[in-house]
Amino acid sequence: MPNPQPKYMAADTSRHYSFFSYWQKVTLLLWLVAGLCFSLSDTQVISLDPWSELLRMAEGFITPDFFATEYLLESLWQTVSFALLGVVAGLLFGGPLSFLYSNRLVAALCAVTRSIHEIFWALLFLQVFGLSPITGVLAIALPYGATFARVFNDILLQAPQTTTQTLPANTDSISRYFYGRISHVLPSMLAYVRYRFECALRSSAVLGFIGMPTIGFYLETAFRQGNYHEGAALLMLFIALIGTIKYWCRPKLILIYIVASLYTLPNIPSVDGMLLWRFITLDILPPALQNIEHWGQIDLKLVNQLLSWGHRLFFSQALPGLAITLLLALSALAMAHIIALLSSALSSRRLSGPLLSNCTKFCLLVLRSVPEYIFAFVFMMLLGPSMLPAMLALALHNGALIAYLTVRQSDTLEVSADYNARLDGYCYEVLPQIYPNLMGLVFYRFEVILRETAILGMLGVATLGFYIDSGFAEIRYSSALFLLMCTAMLNIVVDIVSRRLLTANMNQQMTCSGNK
């Protein structure tokens, strides 16, 4: 009597082949490169007595003081307001652009815009608008709008064409596009907007570190002054805010929230038009161009001065910053991969059971809710100023996020009747099916880690962000813009490499399955 092979086994032959060939090689290469980067990085623990500080922090989390912050509710509401208005403005900017995203110029502008972190946009707008709500909202809206444009375009490309062909011939273009294309993918687009709102809450909190009146401002103050009871309470409330989004962020309440956010925003100071004009036409220009009055003054000598300025800046700041940024990002990426791999196994109901699975998922919620910048700030106080706190912060947050998204897939997988809820069964049946998706998320998060790595320079790590922050602090705006462009180019290159790695695997799978 023949022994029929389970359907899922027959269907996934190419996946097993991919896991033990392509993804295995990519994983080993990632670990080898990350190991080399880690050995070259400054990971020394400099703090003299980290355990006593850790003990004080633990005491703070055991007995949090929820009444120590004078403007607690106001800071929480401003965190929500900045995030909500930033996402709405991003939708107004990115939604229409998604229809034009096939244009290469639009795609390139969006790529540059989204590759610059929100906090760098905030530092830029800070020079013009000061500590105004406009600074915080625009800092979120611009990169989020560019991201919406790209993602919405990707989603729309997956919409089926069949409905459009069935509409009456006299249907106008707008109705044809809305009913024929958008209606198919609207749930996916709304789900993505909701995900970006959660990200915007974290970005809004981080903006508090540069003076915006969000919860990050009070968090930094509390931890910097050693008021751990107060800091722990603020952190717990922020995690609760993220974890309960689905309960308080209902679609029917969004309009009310938007009106309330606009009404309760802090006062917007008047913008000095002369200052804005000077910033655009003079301050952001390289020194060699600041004294010219018309284009006729540009000669070979001035071009040489310009090239000399760029050459000096690139080799003295951009190149060392890029090297440290890559060392930090690659080390953190491999650590995040390991954390995601272990956490997704521990939180899988098919391996760990309901109790351990739910406890692990709660830990993942905590770790993914706290922004990397806040983790790095706390670890820096414990371990001292080296690259290790930044690596741990990036790895914990991103590893938890990847595991959270991966376990949603593993819990819905079908397994054979012979599946045993042990490690060998999980590694044989579940892991090969979720691993390509996990690696896809790892490569996607690499671009995010790179952006976050740059801003950790504001805490003293000599990444590109360190030199950019120094440029703004020393009023060398042209240098800061030059380094921001270097950051954008690095992110774009990494995005292209990551996409090619994923595409190579997809092509290999299609070839193996005979579809190509």
Q: pLDDT of the chain along its 516 residues, tens only?
A: 444 444 444 444 444 455 556 778 888 988 999 999 999 988 887 766 767 777 888 888 888 888 877 778 888 899 999 999 999 999 998 988 888 888 888 888 888 888 888 888 898 888 888 888 899 999 999 999 999 998 888 888 777 777 777 777 777 777 777 777 788 888 888 888 988 898 899 889 988 888 888 988 888 888 888 888 888 888 888 888 888 888 888 888 999 999 999 998 888 877 777 877 888 777 888 887 777 777 777 778 888 888 898 898 899 888 998 899 889 999 999 999 999 999 988 888 878 878 888 888 888 888 888 878 778 878 887 787 788 888 999 999 899 988 988 887 787 777 787 777 788 888 888 888 888 888 888 887 887 888 888 777 777 788 888 888 888 888 888 888 888 888 888 888 877 777 676 666 655 554 444 443
Contact 284, 481 (CB under 8 A): yes
Examine the fold and report which residue of 277, 299, 326 is the final residue of a domain before the chain moves on. 277
Contact 143, 117 (CB under 8 A): yes
Does a structural domain hold residue 51?
A: no
Task: Please report the pLDDT score of residue 99 as a whole number.
Answer: 85
Name the strand (E) or helix (H) holding 150.
Answer: helix 133-157
Instruction: Note whether 268 and 351 are same-domain residues.
Output: no
Instruction: Note whether 263 and 320 are same-domain residues.
Output: no
Instruction: Note whether 322 and 190 are same-domain residues.
Output: no
Instruction: Note whether 231 and 124 are same-domain residues.
Output: yes
Does a structural domain hold residue 322?
A: yes
List the domain range (segments joined by +) for residue 341: 284-289+310-509
Task: Please report the pLDDT score of residue 19 as a whole number.
Answer: 52
Q: Which two tokens stand for residue 426?
A: 């999980």
Instruction: Note whether 490 and 382 are same-domain residues.
Output: yes
Does a structural domain hold residue 38?
A: no
In whole angstroms, give the CA distance from residue 286 to residue 230. 45
| CA nearest neighbour of 479 among 286, 279, 281 | 286
How many structural domains compose the chain? 2
SS3 category, 324: helix
Instruction: Note whether 246 and 113 are same-domain residues.
Output: yes
Whether this prediction's pTM lies above 0.85 is answered by: no
- Cα torsion for 399, 401, 406, 407, to the nearest 10°? 100
Query: For 230-274, what is the HEC assignment?
Result: HHHHHHHHHHHHHHCHHHHCCHHHHHHHHHHHHHHCCCCCCCCHH
Instruction: Note whether 94 and 182 are same-domain residues.
Output: yes
Count of Cβ atoms closer than 10 Å to residue 59 Cβ: 12
SS3 category, 4: coil
Instruction: Note whether 384 and 266 are same-domain residues.
Output: no
Does a structural domain hold residue 44?
A: no
Instruction: Note whether 269 and 340 are same-domain residues.
Output: no
Instruction: Note whether 328 and 438 are same-domain residues.
Output: yes
Contact 394, 338 (CB under 8 A): no
Task: Please report the pLDDT score of residue 513 as a whole number.
Answer: 42
Examine the fold and report which residue of 221, 254, 277 is the final residue of a domain before the chain moves on. 277
Place of tokens 């414990």: 382
Instruction: Note whether 259 and 344 are same-domain residues.
Output: no
Residue 476 sits in a domain whose CATH number is 1.10.3720.10
Q: Which two tokens stand for residue 154?
A: 């990707």
Does a structural domain hold residue 456?
A: yes
Instruction: Note whether 261 and 183 are same-domain residues.
Output: yes
Does a structural domain hold residue 295?
A: no
Does a structural domain hold residue 59?
A: no
Does a structural domain hold residue 156?
A: yes
